[in-house]
Chains A and B, each alone.
Chain A
Amino acid sequence: MPANQRSFVDEMANFKFSLARSLKLKEVMGYDTHRIVDGPVCSSDLACFGLQHLFRNNLLSPDGFDALYVVTQSPDYLMPPTSNVIQGRLGLKHDMFCMDINQGCAGFVIGLLQSFLLLNQPSVNRVVLINVDVLSRKTSARDRNSYPLIGDAASITVIERCEDATPIHSNLKMDGAGREALMIPAGGMRLPSSPDTAVVEDDGDNNFRAKDHLRMDGSAVFNFVQVEVPPMIEELLRTAGATTEEIDFFLFHQPNRFMLQKLADKMKVPYEKMPNNIVEHYGNASGVTIPMAICHNLRERLLSGSVRACLAGFGVGLTWASMLMRLGPLDFCDLVEFP
């Protein structure tokens, strides 16, 4: 995660809202500090820094993995893939499967699922999954809907086969009809970036952004999550023959505290089993919030033991995915600051 830490209280003056409204928002949504890159830092910069940390500390060897998945919505370039950029920058071996996945808040679960599928190949023994986004660079600093919660970060997850035959259950759902609820309208082929798309405008709610910026329909996203996530988890648990009480932790993507508390209430899960403290410390870094929640809340426990965890991600696409697995013991589980 970037060392650069910003505070919602310091940024409130950027938004065209009263102090009282902003403070209330802080309390309910859990906005406090967030980590964002300082300057033109790219996804591959965070990812390479993290991988080099692992190499330097002998936690992973540069030629010790056979596939590299990069899940990002903020690639270095439209082409080539960021996974290839990382491979080239670090001089990784050529017989390596590199692939980018354009996914966001469900991207950790989707990345794990893809990694597990790839590990079915006899020639693939270890997969590195990188979730990374630097979406603060595509978010208007005058957009109170998005900017206070945005975070930048990368997570690196090393996945390999093990002898434990405990099944891992997962489900994955998508609805492209909701594709406009979370989007960056300009910058692709449909609407290339231009001086016009860089013009910052009032959206009518006193939030100011350009077509080049991230746009979130907060009401639509909130409603989608509340309607779709609880039945998805019910279905997952039913398939696995598990009950809510048997799950140690519900490690869900963390857009804001209020949304998670409403999910926990609906699913009758105690708040302490569903951590909601990532946005207040680091911001919402898309697919990285779940691994961040693991490192921030469960590090000690997972280095020496394991928990039965239900993971769930939901967001851009629209996409929602969940996974039930025994998590841990882990060989390493660290939060590292990008200088």
Chain B
Amino acid sequence: MSDPNTPFDHRPDLVLGAALRAALAPPPGDTGAFVARVLAAADRPADPLAEVLARWARRGIAAALLAALASGWVVGRGLAAPDDPPVGDTQAVIAGVQEPDAGVLLASFADR
């Protein structure tokens, strides 16, 4: 082992290195099996589940875009042409023929 009193030693500690190497070593003689396993995994097509999820994700994004566009169209249309309560309704409420709703009441206040 190197001198432990030299904290920033540039040289590898051969004894410690050999012990650690043995401690971390995979079972002897199975490197070939590991290489074959990696190559087989590399040859396999992409995970079918991931493919399915990716397709769903694409469809989901498309549906969300369509929904956003539809909502924008509806909101834009509503802002462009606000619904005014018909004048006839206001008069019917005042005459006591029809029960008031909030829109009619606010419209009548606005008229004043």
Answer yes or no: do A and B interact.
no
Residues of A within 8 A of B (CB): none
